Each structure stands twice: as C-alpha cells, then as structure tokens.
Amino acid sequence: MRGLRRLAVCGVALVIGVASAAGADESRLIDPPGARELTPAELRARPAPFPAPVGERLRYAVSYWGLPLGTAEIEVLRYLELEGRRFAHIGARAETYPAFAWIYRVRDRAEALIDLDRVRTRISRTRMEHRRRRIYEEIAFDWETHFVKVLRERRHSGSGREVAFDFGPFAHDPLDLVYSLRRDPELGAGTVELPVYASRKIQGLRLVPAGRELVRTRATQRIPALRLHPEVRIDGQPRDDRGRGVLWIAAEGQRIPLRLAGWFRGSDDFRIGGVRAELVEYVPAAPGWEAVGGAGPAPSAAARRGAPSAVEGRPVWDVPEEIARLRHSRGIVERDERFRVAAGR
C-alpha cells in the first residue's frame, strides 16, 4: 500500500508515512495565496492543541537488514492563518544515500496543512521519485461534505487518475498521524484503531499496546517508551502482514516516535522486510517558539477512533442530514476518472 510505504520510509508515521522541510533551493509544494504566517506571541495568546511548535524536526536513519538506506525527516515549517482558520504547514522528505541510490534511488517530498485546533488535514501534496518513476499526488479533505478528492499523476508514463469519495465520520492523512497520536491521552492503555486514507481507500490502522520499555536512540538517552504493534486492516479484516512490526513512542513529554521496525509491502506482490527507522536528530523548536504547541484543549480522541464498517475501503455510515443536503446542493458525488498527463511534466 502506497500510504504505508510513504509512512514507513519516512520513519514513524506508524506504518503508513513521514517527512522534512523542503530545502531553500526547492519551491514549496503548498504555498496558498492569502495565507499569513502566525507569530509565537499569537499562539501564546491563543493556544492550540497541535502538539509541535514551529521548527520541530525529527530525522530518522532508515536501514534494511542493517544496510543503511537513507534518511527521512518531518518538520513543522510554519504556522499559517488562511480563510479564518489556523494551520501547521508540515514538510517531509525521504531520500536514499548516494551509495544506495545507484541500486534503487528514492527521493520523496511531502507537505500538508494540518488544522492547529482540530488536528486534521486539509490538504497534502506528495512528489515521489523512485528510480525512473515520477509520481505526483494531491489529497484534499472537505470537512463540510466529508468527501476526499485524490489527484494522482504518473508523470513518467503520462497517465493520471482523479478519485472522489465519502471518507466517513473521520479520516487521517498519513502525515497527521504523527501529531494526532501525541494528543491521545489513552495511547498505550488499550487497542486503538484509526481510519486512515491510503491507496484510494479508508483503511484501519490498529495499534496494539505491548507494554513499556526503556529505549535509547542516537538522538536520546534511555527513556521510557510505549511499545506498540501496528496492524493494517481493510473492511475490518487484517491486510495479511502489511504493517506487521513494532513502533516505539516516547511515553512522556512530547511523545515523539523513537523507532520503527518490521515488514512492509510496497505493492500487492512486493514485500520488504527488515526495515528499521531510528531517531537520529531531534530539534524541539525554532528559536522563539519554545514551549509553544499542545497547550490548547485536546480534540476528542473518541471522535477520530474506530474505523467504521466498510466495503472495499468505502465507509458505511449514517450520513447526517445536513451533510447530505450540502452534498446535493453542491452536486458532490463519487467519481473515478482517468486522464492523460503530458509526458515529462
């Protein structure tokens, strides 16, 4: 599953994604016109539940059966105000080391706007380069109609696809998982299942607690960590061994992901095992942004838990009447369209 690979390769997204800031030499994937950058003073005056301040960066070393493959990073680039709402602009990158790139080069970038107050994704964009394959994907969540629109362009082959469907009561984007779980007070106390968009479906990410351990990484001393076993489920059933592995998250403080290890599938017929990601650098905040973030009331964890029953990855639920009326008035219906993309775009 592409979402799983995206999270694993990025180092923590719990068996479905992760990230880093775009370099100064690269244009941003998301730069909405009319957006205004927020200041630390504004966040101190009006705290937000989003747990990470501007400048927080997590960098992971990724290996395969002990062979160093590359790095993955996720960073809070800035806080924005846009159309009356506040967002965290998240940036991410996963890239193979030069010594491994001649075998299989990976260069992925992803960005997302995550609502500071509701800790849910408005839009994410990803640009992937895997050998000669170049893919662009945009995922937009409409929280008024509960529809997700996905645009995917395979630019190396000139093919594209646009899909829109009902995502149910709630759905995570892979990039917001890293932050959503950090505000969940019950994480580690019992099994949690989260509905996550991945590969044109709403899938369930189940996290089964397996106690606590003292864990040391190259970026931290030995600290208490929650040990979790992730499992990917579709239509309520386990997706064979996709996502089988172990995730360690700091049990105290900022509850950052520390390590990830296990088996993952890149497609229906391609499985990779022995994947490990370890935190090697942790920057808590940019200057001036210390102690900003995670100060507001946490959004309801219950409202975003429990993947609803589904058929072929499409949630089955009682759509509230006001949402149904809004969909009808806007002419919003499910669709799945294919198109051609200019070669070499």
> pLDDT in tens for each of the 345 residues of the chain?
343 344 343 333 333 343 333 343 468 999 999 999 999 999 999 999 999 999 999 999 999 888 899 999 999 999 999 999 999 999 999 999 988 878 888 999 999 999 999 999 999 999 999 888 999 999 999 999 999 999 999 999 999 999 999 999 999 999 998 899 888 878 888 998 889 998 899 998 889 999 999 999 999 999 999 999 988 888 888 776 555 689 999 998 889 999 999 865 444 444 456 789 999 999 999 999 998 877 766 676 666 666 678 888 899 999 999 999 999 999 999 999 999 998 666
Buried b / exposed e across 12-21, counting CB within 10 Å, b at 16+? bbbbbbbbbb
- φ, ψ of residue 265 in degrees (nearest 5): -105, 140
State whether residue 6 is helix, strand or coil. helix
Query: d(Cα 334, Cα 20) in Å, to the nearest integer?
Result: 33
* Contact between residue 116 and residue 49 where contact means Cβ atoms under 8 Å apart: yes
* Closest by Cα among 113, 68, 117 to 92: 113
Q: Residue 195 carries which DSSP code? A: E
Buried b / exposed e across 232-251, counting CB within 10 Å, b at 16+? bbbbeeebeebbbbbbbbbb
In sequence order, the 6+-apart residues with CB closer than 8 A to the CB of 173 are: 112, 121, 124, 139, 141, 196, 197
pTM of the model: 0.89
- Strand boundaries in 235-306, DSSP class E: 237-238, 245-250, 257-267, 270-283
CA distances from 76 to 20, 39, 88, 148, 151 (A): 8, 14, 7, 24, 24
In sequence order, the 6+-apart residues with CB closer than 8 A to the CB of 344 are: 155
Domain residue spans in the chain? Answer: 2-340
